[in-house]
């Protein structure tokens, strides 16, 4: 059995630490809802966030429910996951992180590091705003979403 640890959570309000043994839920403290398979074969872990605008499939989303944009410094440190499907304004997006996403229209080279560049993923990092690696190409049509730390440019 592992030792209990404190958990740090990032929201649009900043970073908070929940001490070991805390019984507060994410909903009680006003943060995103974490759902998922829990190892029982029920599917990947997701972050459920209400989007604030129409959000295209394969888009990265902020903790505020906005389409993430590397040119917008207000989005620095707030990118929390990718939606694999279109989500209409006001609906709940089930965002993925640390998971595989498939898109038959992609043509990545295996091993390519992918970045948020503007509002899209790209093999080219942005030249202004902030840079954040968001995935690695497993093959031409599959990426592994894995959010790296953002870097101000």
Q: What pTM did the predictor assign? A: 0.72
Rounded Cα distance, 51 and 74, in Å: 16
Contact present, 134 and 147 (Cβ < 8 Å)? yes
Q: What per-residue confidence (pLDDT) applies to 44?
A: 56
Q: What per-residue confidence (pLDDT) applies to 104?
A: 93
Q: What per-residue confidence (pLDDT) applies to 47?
A: 87
Rounded Cα distance, 113 and 115, in Å: 7
The residues with which 10 forms a beta bridge, in sequence order, are 15
Q: What per-residue confidence (pLDDT) applies to 61?
A: 97
**Cβ neighbours for 96, distance < 8 A, ≥ 6 positions apart:** 44, 46, 81, 82, 83, 84, 145
Domain ranges across the chain:
44-152
pLDDT digits (tens, 9 = 90+) for 102-145: 999 999 999 999 999 999 999 999 999 999 999 999 999 999 99
Q: Could you tell me if residue 63 is left (phi over 0), alpha (psi between -120 and 50 degrees) or otherwise beta?
A: alpha
Q: What per-residue confidence (pLDDT) applies to 33?
A: 41
**Cβ neighbours for 38, distance < 8 A, ≥ 6 positions apart:** 45
Residues in the chain where the model's pLDDT stays below 50: 1-43
């Amino acid at each position: 059995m592992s030792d209990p640890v404190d958990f740090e959570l990032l929201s649009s309000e900043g970073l908070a630490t929940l001490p070991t043994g805390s019984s507060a839920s994410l909903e009680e403290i006003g943060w995103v809802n974490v759902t998922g398979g829990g190892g029982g074969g029920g599917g990947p872990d997701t972050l459920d966030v209400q989007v604030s605008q129409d959000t295209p499939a394969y888009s990265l989303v902020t903790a505020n429910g906005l389409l993430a944009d590397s040119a917008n410094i207000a989005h620095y440190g707030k990118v929390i996951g990718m939606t694999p499907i279109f989500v209409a304004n006001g609906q709940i997006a089930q965002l993925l992180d640390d998971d595989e996403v498939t898109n038959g229209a992609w043509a990545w080279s295996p091993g390519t590091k992918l970045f948020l560049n503007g509002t899209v993923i790209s093999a080219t990092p942005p030249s202004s705003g902030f840079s954040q690696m968001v995935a690695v190409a497993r093959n031409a049509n599959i990426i592994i979403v894995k959010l790296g730390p953002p870097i101000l440019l």
